[in-house]
């Protein structure tokens, strides 16, 4: 029950379009890597074995990818958050995980009272705060990634203290951001965006910084190299959290 349902629907549609664009970019990266390898072979150079950070179609559990306490601290959430696996919405990603606001869910009457008092609901308990998606099935290159950002007419952004390609999406009277960046530690492309009702750009930026600082080789490791699963401390829609 939301007063701004049209705005939310618009945001979901636009952010879904972002994902489709990233999927197309993954295919471009794969073709570019193949072309580079063929060029090396044509020059008579020895074949260089290249492998993506995560084998194709292997999925990383959200409780392994995300350091939940780090996000909790970074964005100042008081109530314990949970994690929701959104991988079904990102078929080209090794993982797509959403942080969900904790606390007691509001009744319809409480939502009405909040709307009357504040004019909007915003992110309420049970809503998605931000989403972190890792594209790790292709061989990526930081220079090619920067050029792709320019081709897509998106913005070069250094507000995280490192390079990111930032897309601006208008949601009603608000501008919300989608951050994409090449992660030097994992060689994955990470994408961070706010939830459908998230209009606080600073929260999304802090989620992006935390993803950059906490996601590393161990958090994307699979098979025998994967870390032992942590004891579940909570869940949301069947997905355990740290």
Judged by DSSP in three states, 192 sits in strand
pTM of the model: 0.75
Q: Note whether 139 and 30 are within 8 A (CB).
A: yes
Q: Does position 13 have pLDDT exceeding 80, yes or no? A: no
CA distance 224 to 55: 13
User: What is the tally of structural domains in the chain?
Assistant: 1
Question: What average pLDDT score do residues 202-225 get?
Answer: 94
Please give the DSSP secondary-structure letter assigned to residue 94: S
CA distance 18 to 221: 26
How high is the pLDDT of residue 48? 65
Percent of the chain whose predicted confidence (pLDDT) is above 90: 59
Which of the listed ranges 19-23, 56-60, 101-105, 178-182 does the model predict with the highest average pLDDT? 178-182
Q: Could you list the residue range(s) of the whole structural domain that residue 132 is in? A: 5-241
Which residue did the predictor score with more confidence, 48 or 75? 75
Residue-wise pLDDT tens digits, 134-149 = 999 999 999 999 999 9
C-alpha distances in angstroms, 62 versus 38, 162, 163, 183, 224? 36, 24, 24, 18, 18
Reported as a pLDDT band with limits 50, 70 and 90, residue 33 is: low
Q: Does position 215 have pLDDT exceeding 60, yes or no? A: yes
């Amino acid at each position: 029950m939301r007063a701004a349902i049209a705005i939310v629907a618009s945001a979901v549609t636009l952010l879904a379009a972002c994902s489709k664009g990233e999927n197309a970019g993954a295919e471009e990266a794969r073709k570019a890597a193949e072309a580079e390898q063929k060029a090396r072979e044509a020059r008579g150079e020895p074949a260089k074995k290249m492998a993506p950070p995560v084998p194709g179609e292997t999925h990383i559990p959200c409780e392994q990818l995300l350091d939940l306490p780090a996000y909790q601290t970074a964005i100042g959430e008081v109530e314990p958050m949970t994690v929701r696996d959104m991988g079904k919405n990102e078929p080209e990603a090794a993982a797509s995980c959403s942080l969900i606001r904790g606390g007691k869910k509001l009744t319809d009457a409480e939502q009405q009272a909040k709307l009357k008092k504040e004019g909007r609901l915003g992110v309420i308990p049970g809503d998605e705060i931000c989403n972190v998606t890792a594209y790790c099935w292709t061989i990526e290159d930081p220079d090619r990634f920067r050029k792709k950002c320019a081709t897509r007419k998106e913005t070069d952004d250094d507000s995280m203290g490192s390079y990111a390609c930032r897309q601006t999406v208008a949601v009603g009277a608000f501008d919300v951001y989608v951050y994409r960046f090449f992660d030097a530690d994992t060689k994955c492309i990470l994408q961070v965006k706010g939830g459908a009702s998230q209009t606080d750009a600073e929260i999304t930026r802090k989620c992006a910084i935390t993803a950059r600082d906490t996601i590393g080789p161990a958090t994307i490791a699979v098979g025998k190299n994967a870390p032992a699963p942590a004891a579940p401390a909570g869940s949301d829609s069947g997905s355990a959290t740290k």
